[in-house]
Structure 1
Amino acid sequence: MKVRTAARVVLLNAEDEVFMLQCRDLGDDSRRYWFTVGGGAELGETSKQTAARELAEETGIECDPSELLGPLATRRVSIQFSTGVLVQDEVYFGMRCMEDIDLDEAMWSDKEKAAITGSRWWSKEEVESSSEVIYPPELPLLIDLVSTGAEPVSPLSLGVPSGVE
């Protein structure tokens, strides 16, 4: 089983809202879900370097990896797409953003351009009460950590869930 290594960023604005992207399954347009900024590691990158690069590519926000809070949490996830299963080890970091995001698809891969269907800021309450599919399910806990600037002594383990994540 091949496991992809990835890093994700819980990006909060001044109102403690989290920025998320909406994605669709390229093989089944009816399957859509929201997720935090992030993606797969490139050869030789640390998790923080991956998170900073993905943040810049997906939002245009550039930062030094040392500016990221964390690691906050880790999880192994099995992602069921219509075309197959992707097993991914994720590391979550946090960051504050005091500016509006003007998404520019120029840095996105062709796959990202085809799959990403929307973006928005969500309050913690909206995340908790939404009927939309949002990943990770523990996102409200991560929002709290970033909101308070609390970095756990060791990353929280978000478990080994399966399904479309």
Structure 2
Amino acid sequence: MTDPRLPPPGTVVRRTTARVLPVRPDGKVLLLHGWDPLKPQTPYWFTIGGAVNDGETLAEAGTRELREEVGIVLPPDALGDPVATNTIEFEWGGCPIIQRQTFFAIGVDGVEVTFANQEELELETISAHGWWHADELEATGRAAHVTIPGLLRRAVDAITLRRAS
């Protein structure tokens, strides 16, 4: 039996996403710990974000996802310019996904992370949050995608430059 919250098996999902990398002054970046619903035995660390809805800008989607996934509330203009874009291909929930991603970095100090606004499927497939230095994450081999440590480095560099100016 298939989960009605997932696309039908074999469906190729193409989506545009906005992703947000919150960076603390110590250079650690907030990530989420979770798994594919069909592969709970293989957890990984991934970035905050999700699909851009019809009529949303990338920044609006980014701030909505930030609020929904970790409870950080910011206006869209707080995200500034994107720090990176890429396209990745992966499988999730039994479906191939081709995902165009735009990444924003935000500087944060003390934030309280909450999963209270997550959707049911997110609550079932996300177990924790964590603050990571790129090198530490890379050493674990547990990033959801090989590009994530480099994205953390870009986010930290961007926030360091913003704080210096």
TM-score (norm 2): 0.81
The yes-or-no answer on 1:120 pairing with 2:135 is no
Measured after TM superposition, the shift of residue 134 of structure 1 is 4.1
Paired residue type of 2:156: D
2:59 maps to which residue?
48
Measured after TM superposition, the shift of residue 2 of structure 1 is 4.6
Moved more, 123-132 or 45-54: 123-132
Identity %: 27
Q: Which has a greater percent of strand?
A: 1
Moved more, 126-135 or 116-125: 126-135
Measured after TM superposition, the shift of residue 28 of structure 1 is 1.4
1:31 maps to which residue?
42
TM-score (norm 1): 0.81
SS in 2 for 1:79: strand
Moved more, 17-26 or 92-101: 92-101
Deviations 1:61-87 (A, max 9, x none): 111111113211111111212512111
2:157 maps to which residue?
145
The yes-or-no answer on 1:130 pairing with 2:146 is no
The structure 1 segments of at least 4 consecutive aligned residues displaced by more than 3 Å after TM superposition are 134-137
Match of 2:97 among 78, 86, 90: 86
1:96 maps to which residue?
107
Deviations 1:16-63 (A, max 9, x none): 110000111101112221111111111100101100111111111111
Larger Rg: 2
Matched-pair contact (CA < 8 Å) for 2:13–2:96: no
The yes-or-no answer on 1:76 pairing with 2:87 is yes
Measured after TM superposition, the shift of residue 142 of structure 1 is 1.9
Q: What are structure 2's unaligned runs of at least 5 residues?
A: 1-11
Matched-pair contact (CA < 8 Å) for 1:20–1:122: yes
Matched-pair contact (CA < 8 Å) for 2:13–2:95: no
Measured after TM superposition, the shift of residue 109 of structure 1 is 0.8
Matched-pair contact (CA < 8 Å) for 1:32–1:133: no
Matched-pair contact (CA < 8 Å) for 1:75–1:90: yes
Matches within 5 A, 1:11-30: 11-30=22-41
Distance of aligned partners of 1:45 and 1:149 in 2 relative to their CA distance in 1, 3 Å threshold: farther
Measured after TM superposition, the shift of residue 149 of structure 1 is 3.2
Hey, what's the Cα distance between the residues in 2 that align with 1:31 and 1:121?
20
Hey, what's the Cα distance between the residues in 2 that align with 1:147 and 1:71?
12
The yes-or-no answer on 1:10 pairing with 2:54 is no
Question: When the two structures are aligned, how many residues end up with a matched partner?
Answer: 149
